[in-house]
Amino acid sequence: MIVGHYDKGPGYATRRPGGSPSRLLLWTESGAGLVEQGGVSFRVGAGDLAVLGSGVAQHYRVSQGAGRWRFWWVHFQPRAAWAAWLGPHAVGGGCHVVAGVPEAVHERIGLAFLRALQDARWTPDAPPPTGPWAPQAEAGSGGRGGEARVPAVASGGAARELVMGAVEEVLVLATATARPEGRGEEGDERARRALAIIAAEPGAPHSVASLARAVALSPSRFAHLFAEVTGQTPMQAVRGARVRHAASLLEVTDMDVGQVAAASGFVSPFHFSRAFKKEYGLPPRDYRARLRPATG
């Protein structure tokens, strides 16, 4: 994980023809940037959070006429649960944009990033920072704006987990308070409620009908609205949540594959293994083995 903060003027641009090997989070404090990825182009301004997918050509720069672009950025590999929070904010091209995060939470989001920057440098033999996380003095201001703070790489396991916690806080605050642009308020809220129900208990026997009842809609109306808001069908969302839940169980428990499949709502280990491999590129046992290499 790498955390940084830029304050850039006209002329700044980053282009990655092969994309980034990790996800990239951009939180705009002021000014504006223009982002292009996977055939999608969008502008981000103050209070907008963007998450760019990996492996897709990307180009971002100071937006024409903006004067400056002041933003936090984080390269990271996401936790499984984060996909459900970002789902309603998909814009295509592997990108998610959480637009118009209310100003009331901007300060807390800024403090979370400051904490992440300091925690990225923490080592277990030193006391962790206790705050307040005051901004560092700006580095040299030559060129077109310069960096306000030196980027930090969270290479140690403990430091990485602290930074992941701060990034998770940012995502929770942003996705819980903002509404995707251009989508009906009522529809957005009902889709959010359905996603929350799925995420809270992925292994439950969810169906289009049961989810529709939970948000007081007919099954046909709910299915149409959910797909319009999230870009996926209700059962695709359920399957994705179950696979992510299973991945978490494989990571942190000693449950066997059959137990993980049952706890995650799959009717059989075979169906579970097939769905898991489609999402993660390898079977559940291989996924766990990769996380827990043999020792001795």
Residue 156 falls within a domain, yes or no?
A: yes
126 within domain boundaries = yes
Top pLDDT among 53 and 141 is at 53
The answer to whether residue 254 sits within a structural domain is yes
Residues 220 and 251 in one domain: yes
Same-domain check for residues 173 and 194: no
- Co-location of 237 and 142 in the same domain: no
Last residue of a domain, one of 118, 144, 177: 177
Q: Identify whether residues 146 and 283 lie together within a single domain.
A: no
Q: For residues 99 and 201, state if they share a domain.
A: no
**The model's pTM:** 0.61
**101 assigned to some structural domain:** yes
Residues 62 and 127 in one domain: yes
Give CB contacts under 8 A, 24+ apart, made by 104-109. Answer: 104/177, 105/173, 105/174, 105/177, 106/29, 106/47, 108/169, 108/173, 109/27, 109/169, 109/170, 109/173, 109/174
Query: pLDDT digit string (tens) for 86-140?
Result: 887 888 888 999 998 999 999 999 999 999 999 998 888 776 666 554 444 333 3
- Give the integer Cα–Cα distance in Å for 157 and 153: 11
In this structure, what CATH number is given to the domain that contains residue 74?
2.60.120.280
Tell me which residue range forms the domain holding 241.
Answer: 186-291
Question: Are residues 161 and 110 in contact, defined by beta-carbon separation less than 8 angstroms?
Answer: no
Same-domain pairing of 23 and 66 = yes
Residue 60 lies in a domain: yes
> What's at 230, amino acid-wise?
T
Q: Is the pLDDT of residue 60 over 70?
A: yes
Whether 173 and 235 share a structural domain: no
- Please tell me the predicted confidence (pLDDT) of residue 186: 52
Which range has the worst mean pLDDT, 58-72, 176-190, 226-240? 176-190
Picking from 177, 206, 226, the residue at the C-terminal end of a domain is: 177
For residues 205 and 159, membership in a common domain is answered with no
Q: Which of 66-75, 110-119, 131-140, 240-249 has the lowest mean pLDDT?
A: 131-140
Determine the pLDDT at residue 91. 84
pLDDT interval class at 281 (50, 70, 90):
confident
More confident residue, 30 or 129: 30
The contacts of residue 44 (CB under 8 Å, 6+ apart) are: 26, 28, 32, 33, 34, 35, 50, 71, 97, 99
Q: What pLDDT does 69 receive?
A: 96
Give the DSSP H or E segment for 69: strand 69-76
Identify the weakest region by mean pLDDT among 8-17, 57-66, 90-99.
90-99
CATH number at residue 266: 1.10.10.60
| Count of other CB atoms within 10 angstroms of residue 25 | 23
The residue type of 9 is G
Query: How much is the pLDDT for 182?
Result: 45
Instruction: Among 156, 177, 198, identify where a domain stops.
Output: 177
Same domain, 159 and 201: no
Is residue 296 situated within a structural domain? no
Domain annotation covers residue 261:
yes
Per the structure, the count of domains in the chain is 2
Structural domain includes residue 44: yes
Residue 173 sits in the same domain as residue 248 = no
Q: What is the pLDDT of residue 129?
A: 60
Q: Above 80 in pLDDT, residue 183?
A: no
Regarding whether 218 and 133 lie in a shared domain, the answer is: no
